[in-house]
Structure 1
């Protein structure tokens, strides 16, 4: 029997790498994602490149490349007097003739509509995959912002960022169907968004953004973004709609090899093409062998290819993506050398078996890439595994106990066991996320309840109403009390500097959490101006300090630019740990988010600061 699964519908958004490539996965700059020799010369367009003309909007229809150019075939009208199959109703010949005329007319109308759809283009004036009805931001989320400035912020943002909740807000902004800002093309704007998503570990969403532009409107940036996306998701088939035009525009030798791979995937002989690629120096060694293996997966692929990693000392994105696509196992010694974002790519990949995805799932969950529901589903798929001794299966069974055990004491014991086991900070926080809904099912009168960690767990998944049931059990001055004070959506009362002074969170030896609590309450508007002034001096938080970042985020808030506010907040929190986030940055970020209607995310970020700092 499988453990509990949530039935909540989830938006699956494809992600892709953008930018210009990078020689090794451990780097952050988008120089080249391909192996040595694939990037002579670099294909990055100049920042001031002239934007391409925007195609007029004609419906925003996504077309299947396999059907392009194929004429619609009208259904044949029924023939009066033909032999009928069992179960069919006999139709009068006169009625049949009338129906035939109607069906023929309908077929003509369908063919005309199909032809119109084939000629339709998605506008570059508004690009993305999630509208407000899908949970995305409004199209004018960057209203009035300068596009060159926004793209530069995206390029300079170092991922990951400290806050899981801010990462999720940033993903939401980047995948939204947004109006293209002034002075940039919609295709280049999509490319920058895609590259940032991939750097965040959001490979599936990045690919979707790259593919939200019609192939005929691609720019060199977007060609390279799509290459990055296909590699991060192990999806070389994504290259094929643009492979013929990409090589001369993107100036990446990887596109030359991609054309040969796409020929193989389409069922055409690709061996000679790849041999020519090897002779020309487009790819050699393990890079061409992996390409041969992927191309051989097509209908006419007959060549068996053996991949040996012994002589490989560097895992590039090309090697990662081609190995993922062909089902080639990558040694853990190579995986250990690359940027941690690759762990999130692996956790999202359906090509990797469940056990292989569980190992990197902690990192992905702690960074906001995987949700509580996704984690529960991942462990749920292990529950019928035959390996009775597996550690992962033990976690799955403990999780089931936490959900379904007969007594509340057994459920609390199972939760504590799950929380105590991880040795890393990401692992401990991922367990809180994994158990959030199990914690929410626990009765408030459970004996021996660990209130601090129960509240942490529920708030990690945004279950603020469930967490607030424990308000009376949270001792004043405890971590649970502080998190609930920040997370309460109905907080009408204000707190005082004395309340903050009485906070004595666990392990807060240097007062970091107390400063974060002050910054959080001040940023959420839950302190009086007098208490903000006195608390800033008492706790050493320079909330009045000004610099270019504070002026920028304050201006974005005044101009009601939620997309820019989220991006600037992420700029302020671009560090891997919460203890690297200054309280002043938290204060400004929360205030700006509240001002543009993002109060719910602001509350969760503030509570997370207590839970993780």
Structure 2
């Protein structure tokens, strides 16, 4: 079989101002959570949860669920399988043991990213109010519309930094992991929960850890939680988790008893059948289960996690009705065939969960497994052509890829997967018709310096694609001097609805300091951008920036993007976000977010 994967293809992506004196008369609809529009109000603090003493179990009463945490945080949709008859046959428990003090981990410093591997630093939240940050994360509607804001937020949540004062450290780690799960970042969430010793879990941490096990399609990760969870929760799925863990440990008789008791009590629904499917994978259980999804009207973490762990395809109707996080979880589910993960991988890439290199590698693996007779016209074949061969053939393949895609997420993913191929096209004025998409593709993967090679050429282009290339480089490339006259020409030629792209361009340039206050004020007055509007969110963002709290700025930036698409992000918010990021030293991230606003608006 001829293979088109090569080193260049696999390395295709790289994943990882003064106030303006102009006030608009327009008042856009607020996207901020309740409480942020009134300058005198801030989100209320959350109640502190005390940690259990060493060697003690968590308190029996779990905290009341918050409004931002959906009911499926507690996996409680399955009939109770607990049985009095099992009391006479308790499970075998390992002997008690104590961890040496040197082996215990400090829950106040949970995190995996340090200053040398993209972390935001140990002082990322220093001086911030813990209850305030806790409340912000609970209020955040994830995933965010911005891929680059999501990547930054993931880094902030994974940074090894001290828990801020006023919150219980394990619950602080749990809230970070819960936000990562809502963003689709299942593996990142697992990195956090695994850094807290189980005997230090709060009830909230136990719930999030269970969610993480399901999101990563790893039912075995529930096993350390079963006994502590049954002591504080009467959720009916914990006995079923007990049954699955017994089967995975080779206790087939006990596993079968638990499943049979659940069936006799409440009958067989999809949740119990999925648990039985996992039990059937254990040794000597002799259980073959045919799943029947008829009548199932929604997907839950329990259903997703067990179906993905069993390598079972979830009905398309359920996936279509599920949120984006389920698709991101599915894209990385190791037990599912690659073909089932392709559509999900596009959403994962658009969300920032998958890098350009990861997406290209997935298609590379598909290409290696495809018979040459079936390769012609496939996505894998076109992607291979985009990276190798004569330049005209590569450009033709890029056009074919960009012109496909049925959804905004898929079209965005096609830019992401072609970033490396776009970087291999030499700048030329003869390619003006695709210059905008070439530059956009490179910036989706953060290739700002490779994209900057197009700046001299784009400066001479005056068509729509050339204008797009120049505007992207004006905000995304390093060390650019912006011509205000060119900005005016682009504003005058803008035919997007309500001149949305021009408004975002001016807001980004003002926030990045690439046009002066007077110029920004003139454009702002013409375009209706309220640069000086203040509310509790702008005040909190400015205060965090003045204290150089990078992590707090990242979280507040996400709060300013509570909408489903870039078209809903007000230019005033973009201005505030990129300005704050620059002021705390996150210049590169500010440029990438600004460029993304323009190529996705």
TM-score, length of structure 2 as denominator length:
0.82
**8 Å contact 2:475–2:591 — kept in the other structure?**
yes
Paired residue for 2:582?
A: 594
Q: Report the more deviating stretch, 241-250 or 223-232.
A: 241-250
- The counterpart of 1:394, out of the listed 375, 378, 382, is 378
Shift of 1:583: 0.4
Q: Against the structure 1 CA distance between its residues 265 and 401, is the aligned structure 2 distance closer, same or farther, given a 3 Å change threshold?
A: same
Verify: 1:489 aligned to 2:478, yes or no: yes
Paired residue for 2:524?
A: 536
Matches of 1:286 and 1:434 in 2, distance apart? 37
- The counterpart of 1:275, out of the listed 247, 260, 264, is 260
Shift of 1:28: 6.8
Write out aligned runs for 1:319-468 (5 A). Answer: 319-386=303-370, 394-405=378-389, 407-445=390-428, 447-448=430-431, 450-468=434-452
Q: Against the structure 1 CA distance between its residues 404 and 10, is the aligned structure 2 distance closer, same or farther, given a 3 Å change threshold?
A: closer
Paired residue for 2:567?
A: 579
Shift of 1:251: 4.1
Shift of 1:176: 1.6
Write out aligned runs for 1:55-204 (5 A). Answer: 120-204=103-187
Shift of 1:423: 2.6
Q: Against the structure 1 CA distance between its residues 345 and 500, is the aligned structure 2 distance closer, same or farther, given a 3 Å change threshold?
A: same
Shift of 1:256: 2.4
Paired residue for 1:100?
A: none
**8 Å contact 1:379–1:393 — kept in the other structure?**
no
Shift of 1:118: 8.1
**8 Å contact 1:383–1:396 — kept in the other structure?**
yes
**8 Å contact 1:20–1:32 — kept in the other structure?**
no
Identify the structure with the greater helix proportion: 2
Matches of 2:144 and 2:63 in 1, distance apart? 22
Gaps of 5+ in 1: 13-18, 41-67, 72-114
SS at match of 1:503: helix
- Deviation string for 1:462-502 (max 9, x for gaps)? 101111111122126701101101112223x3543x43221
Number of matched residues? 529
Q: Against the structure 1 CA distance between its residues 297 and 410, is the aligned structure 2 distance closer, same or farther, given a 3 Å change threshold?
A: same
**8 Å contact 2:78–2:271 — kept in the other structure?**
no
Matches of 1:251 and 1:139 in 2, distance apart? 39
Matches of 1:160 and 1:260 in 2, distance apart? 34
SS at match of 2:471: helix
Matches of 1:21 and 1:473 in 2, distance apart? 59
- Deviation string for 1:106-164 (max 9, x for gaps)? xxxxxxxxx98686111011112222222222122111111111111101100121211
Matches of 1:392 and 1:123 in 2, distance apart? 55
Per chain length, whose mean CA-contact separation is higher, i.e. which structure has more relative contact order (CA < 8 Å, sep 6+)?
Answer: 2
Matches of 1:513 and 1:482 in 2, distance apart? 9
**8 Å contact 2:214–2:306 — kept in the other structure?**
yes
Verify: 1:305 aligned to 2:289, yes or no: yes
**8 Å contact 2:327–2:348 — kept in the other structure?**
yes
Matches of 2:563 and 2:227 in 1, distance apart? 40
Write out aligned runs for 1:220-235 (5 A). Answer: 220-235=203-218
Q: Report the more deviating stretch, 320-329 or 131-140.
A: 131-140
**8 Å contact 2:170–2:202 — kept in the other structure?**
yes
Shift of 1:400: 1.0
Q: Against the structure 1 CA distance between its residues 535 and 7, is the aligned structure 2 distance closer, same or farther, given a 3 Å change threshold?
A: closer
Paired residue for 1:3?
A: 5
Larger Rg: 1 or 2? 1
- Deviation string for 1:560-608 (max 9, x for gaps)? 1111101111111121211100000000001111111111000011111
- Deviation string for 1:85-124 (max 9, x for gaps)? xxxxxxxxxxxxxxxxxxxxxxxxxxxxxx9868611101
**8 Å contact 2:76–2:236 — kept in the other structure?**
no
SS at match of 1:521: helix
- Deviation string for 1:424-450 (max 9, x for gaps)? 221111111010001101122484451
Paired residue for 1:76?
A: none
Paired residue for 1:50?
A: none
Matches of 2:79 and 2:290 in 1, distance apart? 26
**8 Å contact 1:128–1:209 — kept in the other structure?**
yes
Paired residue for 1:31?
A: 71
**8 Å contact 1:160–1:199 — kept in the other structure?**
yes
**8 Å contact 1:21–1:224 — kept in the other structure?**
no
- Deviation string for 1:294-320 (max 9, x for gaps)? 122223433222212123233222111
Paired residue for 1:106?
A: none
